[in-house]
Amino acid sequence: MIFGRSERGKPPVEPVTLKILVAGGFGVGKTTLVGAVSEIRPLRTEEQLSETGRPVDDTSGVESKSTTTVAMDFGRITLREDLVLYLFGTPGQERFWFMWDELSEGALGAVVLADTRRLEDCFAAVDYFERRSIPFLVSVNCFEGADRYPAEAVRQALDLDDGVPVVLCDARERGSVKEVLIGLVRHAMDHAADRREAALN
Ligand SMILES: Nc1nc2c(ncn2[C@@H]2O[C@H](COP(=O)(O)OP(=O)(O)O)[C@@H](O)[C@H]2O)c(=O)[nH]1
Ligand SMILES: [Mg+2]
């Protein structure tokens, strides 16, 4: 047949899929960011965690308040025909770090979202990725009413290595978030290349 794949001259591509984590403090815009770019309806999983050992049906008094909602965001974006990103928004609270260890398995890298009004909320995430040598960038979500700081000031405040990109974004804007993700993929690729080179020397 003249039609079909031979006519186009190239076989269909099987896309490369990459796993990206989206971390940062509570309310910094992780769910918003994933929702802004995801092609699939973002999946939010909510789980009731009861305090250790407490029977779930123990409804005595207000004790039922001891349940906590854990939300994890999941989304997908096709950056190019041959490149698909899966996004995992990680719960920010420290007590959920056991989840991060599994989530970060096989991850290409991470976006650490930051709000300049409470930068300290992302210290823990920065620390986590630094310790594990997982490539990450810091993306400042520019809320209205929050003072704007140059990227360099944010880098200093967070004591980031020179190589860690700091970018500004609007977590609600698809185009803005896409730029952040492209920046992260580039950064992670560079990081991987540097490591390969170091291993050869
Ligand atoms: N003005 C503004 N509001 C935002 C922005 N990003 C998130 N929000 C709002 O901030 C709140 C917390 O965002 P959310 O995505 O739920 O934060 P998460 O806890 O990190 O998942 C929500 O009400 C969002 O609508 C932003 O860039 N600008
Ligand atoms: Mg959220």
Half-sphere exposure of 141 (CA within 13 A, CB side): 30
Question: How many structural domains compose the chain?
Answer: 1
What pLDDT shows up at residue 96?
72
Q: Is residue 9 part of a domain?
A: no
Q: Is residue 110 part of a domain?
A: yes
What pLDDT shows up at residue 58?
44
Which atom of ligand 1 is the closest one to the Cα of 71?
Answer: 21
Q: Is the CB of 30 under 6 A from ligand 1?
A: yes
Q: Is the CB of 144 under 6 A from ligand 1?
A: yes
Q: Is the CB of 70 under 6 A from ligand 1?
A: no
Residue 21 has pLDDT above 70, yes or no: yes
**138 or 4, which is more confident?**
138
- For the whole model, what pTM was predicted? 0.83
What pLDDT shows up at residue 48?
56
Q: Point out the ligand nearest to the CA of residue 44.
A: 2
| Residue nearest ligand 1's atom 19 by CA | 27
Q: Is residue 2 part of a domain?
A: no
Mean pLDDT of 175-188: 98
Strand order in the sheet with 68-80: 43-49, 68-80, 83-89, 16-24, 109-114, 136-141, 166-169
Q: Which residue has the tokens 């809320």?
A: 143
Average pLDDT, the chain: 84
**58 or 75, which is more confident?**
75
What is the sign, positive or negative, of the torsion defined by CA atoms of 101, 19, 38, 170?
A: positive
Q: Are 40 and 10 in contact (CB under 8 A)?
A: no
Q: Is residue 135 part of a domain?
A: yes
Residue 1 has pLDDT above 90, yes or no: no
Mutate to test the pocket of ligand 1, among 22, 32, 74 (most ligand atoms within 8 A of CB): 32
**71 or 181, which is more confident?**
181
**131 or 91, which is more confident?**
131
What pLDDT shows up at residue 10?
72
What distance, in Å, lies between the first and last C-alpha atoms of the chain? 52
Q: Is residue 8 part of a domain?
A: no
Mean pLDDT of 15-42: 92
Q: Is residue 6 part of a domain?
A: no
Q: Is residue 190 part of a domain?
A: yes
What pLDDT shows up at residue 5?
53
Domain that holds residue 30: 16-52+63-200
Q: CATH code at 120?
A: 3.40.50.300
| Residue nearest ligand 1's atom 23 by CA | 27
Q: Is residue 136 part of a domain?
A: yes
What pLDDT shows up at residue 35?
94
Which atom of ligand 1 is the closest one to the Cα of 89?
Answer: 21
What pLDDT shows up at residue 2?
46
